[in-house]
């Protein structure tokens, strides 16, 4: 077997190179996703104020220059990339608990996730959404923004919802280990032979995901968000994300280079087949969406349920395709990718404010949508990269991000 662990000086020896690089790539995809939203064809019209309509919470900036291609790009991302991030986050939980102990693990999670979330929600949240207020009202009045912000029913925190929800899932895993210590190993054994039959494991993941997601989509709608103060999550996807995280924990208990994640196993060897499955999965979702739009008179619950099953299929297929690609082709460390991996957490925390301010600054320019997207994505990614690297040069900050 080709080794996939980082062994260069200064790197963690337990770092799985392809999975670490995939995580960095996904965070970069998050930056690209938010950079594209202002230029997607699906954008609604801006509201008259922050309190009149909360559409700005999802689409802070709406530019007149748009393209369907970026709407397609954002739609594909939305199907899988957060689910795969939860899966990857779960993979190393068991190793971390074994190395540190349960109490030290949860203490470390509070420091690494709780502190950044609190700071990001309190400071970066308002900073990220100020451009939305400026576009809606045409004013840069900080006092008026603060007045409207304080009158909201909750405290918008942006994409750092992932951080607090990941911390909550870590607590769930911690409690499961306290009550039933062998639960992760049981899941790991289910995936032990997935290197030989990865498609069967895909079917298992689709089944569990559909059972977790479809009923929630029927009950609450696929696009509804639950929000309490700075804490938010996409309601229908709560248990779906939990499934991906907990399965990741279970597979990690068996080893991050064995079973499904074996770089020489069936998943990696059949990478081209998984790309085909991903395309088919997305085609299923797209067909359901088109059919639901055409059949306006049909019960909404019916299409939410059918769409939920399609979502589960496409999410698993896309996730497996990206896992297969990185397991197959990433065999050694590279300096630039190491930097991306090591700074990806800071990328995630800081990028949203940078993206929104760059999108706002470009509103006045008559440029094609793709040009604006490229400027925003490149500017936000480079700025977040430099900012994170500078902050991580401080030992106390490096411990956290």
Those residues with Cβ within 8 angstroms of residue 242's Cβ, 6 or more apart along the chain or in another chain: 86, 169, 172, 212
pLDDT confidence tier of residue 255, bands split at 50, 70 and 90: confident
Q: Is residue 5 situated within a structural domain?
A: no
CB 247 within 8 A of CB 253: no
User: Residue 281's closest CA among 312, 243, 250?
Assistant: 312
Domain count, the chain: 1
The pLDDT tens digits for 119-168 are 999 999 999 999 999 999 999 999 999 999 999 999 999 999 999 999 99
**Sign of the four-CA dihedral 162, 163, 168, 171:** positive
Q: Is residue 391 situated within a structural domain?
A: yes
Radius of gyration of the CA atoms of the chain, in A: 21
Those residues with Cβ within 8 angstroms of residue 325's Cβ, 6 or more apart along the chain or in another chain: 271, 274, 275
Q: Is residue 51 situated within a structural domain?
A: no
The pLDDT tens digits for 347-388 are 999 999 999 999 999 999 999 999 999 999 999 999 999 999
Query: What is the C-alpha separation between 56 and 267, in angstroms, rounded?
Result: 40
Find the domain containing 74 and state its range: 19-42+58-400
Q: Is residue 333 situated within a structural domain?
A: yes
The pLDDT tens digits for 158-210 are 999 999 999 999 999 999 999 998 899 888 887 778 888 899 999 999 999 99
DSSP summary character for residue 101: -
The pLDDT tens digits for 229-243 are 999 999 999 999 999
Question: What does the pLDDT average to over 312-316?
Answer: 96
Indicate whether 10 pLDDT > 80. no
Q: Is residue 124 situated within a structural domain?
A: yes
Say what the pLDDT of residue 54 is. Answer: 80
pLDDT confidence tier of residue 109, bands split at 50, 70 and 90: very high
Q: Is residue 177 situated within a structural domain?
A: yes
Those residues with Cβ within 8 angstroms of residue 317's Cβ, 6 or more apart along the chain or in another chain: 202, 274, 277, 278, 280, 281, 282
State which H helix or E strand residue 384 sits in: helix 369-392
For every residue of 82-98, DSSP letters joined together read: HHHHHHHHHHTHHHHHH
Q: How far is CA 203 from the centre of its chain?
A: 22
pLDDT confidence tier of residue 274, bands split at 50, 70 and 90: very high
Query: What is the C-alpha separation between 129 and 374, in angstroms, rounded?
Result: 21
The pLDDT tens digits for 54-86 are 888 889 999 999 999 999 999 999 999 999 999
For residue 40, the SS3 value is strand
Indicate whether 9 pLDDT > 60. no
The pLDDT tens digits for 14-68 are 468 999 999 999 999 999 999 999 999 777 777 777 876 788 888 999 999 999 9
Say what the pLDDT of residue 125 is. Answer: 96
Q: Is residue 375 situated within a structural domain?
A: yes
Q: Is residue 4 situated within a structural domain?
A: no
State which H helix or E strand residue 234 sits in: strand 231-234
Say what the pLDDT of residue 5 is. Answer: 45
């Amino acid at each position: 077997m080709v080794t996939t662990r980082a062994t260069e000086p200064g790197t963690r020896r337990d770092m799985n190179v392809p999975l670490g690089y995939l995580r960095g790539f996904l965070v970069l995809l998050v930056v690209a996703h938010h950079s594209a939203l202002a230029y997607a064809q699906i954008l609604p019209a801006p509201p008259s104020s922050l309190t009149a309509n909360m559409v700005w919470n999802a689409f802070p900036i709406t530019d007149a220059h748009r393209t369907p291609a970026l709407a397609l790009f954002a739609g594909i991302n939305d199907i899988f990339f957060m689910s795969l991030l939860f899966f990857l986050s779960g993979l190393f939980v068991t190793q971390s608990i074994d190395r540190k102990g349960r109490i030290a693990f949860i203490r470390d999670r509070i420091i690494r996730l709780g502190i950044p979330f609190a700071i990001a929600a309190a400071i970066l949240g308002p900073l990220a959404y100020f451009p939305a207020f400026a576009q809606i009202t045409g004013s840069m009045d900080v006092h008026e923004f603060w007045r409207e912000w304080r009158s909201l029913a909750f405290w918008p925190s942006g994409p750092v919802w992932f951080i607090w929800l990941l911390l909550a899932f870590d607590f769930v895993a911690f409690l499961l280990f306290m009550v039933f210590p062998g639960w992760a190993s049981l899941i790991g054994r289910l995936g032990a032979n997935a290197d030989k039959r990865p498609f069967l494991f895909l079917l298992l993941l689709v089944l569990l995901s559909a059972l977790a997601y479809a009923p929630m989509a029927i009950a609450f709608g696929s696009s509804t968000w639950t929000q309490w103060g700075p804490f938010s999550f996409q309601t229908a996807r709560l248990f779906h994300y939990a499934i991906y995280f907990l399965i990741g924990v279970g597979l990690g208990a068996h080893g991050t280079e064995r079973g499904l994640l074996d770089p020489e196993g069936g998943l990696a060897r059949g990478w081209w087949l998984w790309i085909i499955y991903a395309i088919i999965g997305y085609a299923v979702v797209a067909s359901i969406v088109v059919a639901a739009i055409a059949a306006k008179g049909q019960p909404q619950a019916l299409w939410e349920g059918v769409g939920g099953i399609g979502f589960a299929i496409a999410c698993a297929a896309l996730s497996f395709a990206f896992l297969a690609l990185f397991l197959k082709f990433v065999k050694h460390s590279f300096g630039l990718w190491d930097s991306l991996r090591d700074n990806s957490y800071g990328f995630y925390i800081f990028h949203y404010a940078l993206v929104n301010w760059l999108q706002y600054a470009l509103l006045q320019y008559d440029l094609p949508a793709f040009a604006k997207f490229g400027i925003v994505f490149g500017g936000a990614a480079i700025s977040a990269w430099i900012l994170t690297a500078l902050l991580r040069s401080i030992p106390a900050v490096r411990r956290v991000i």
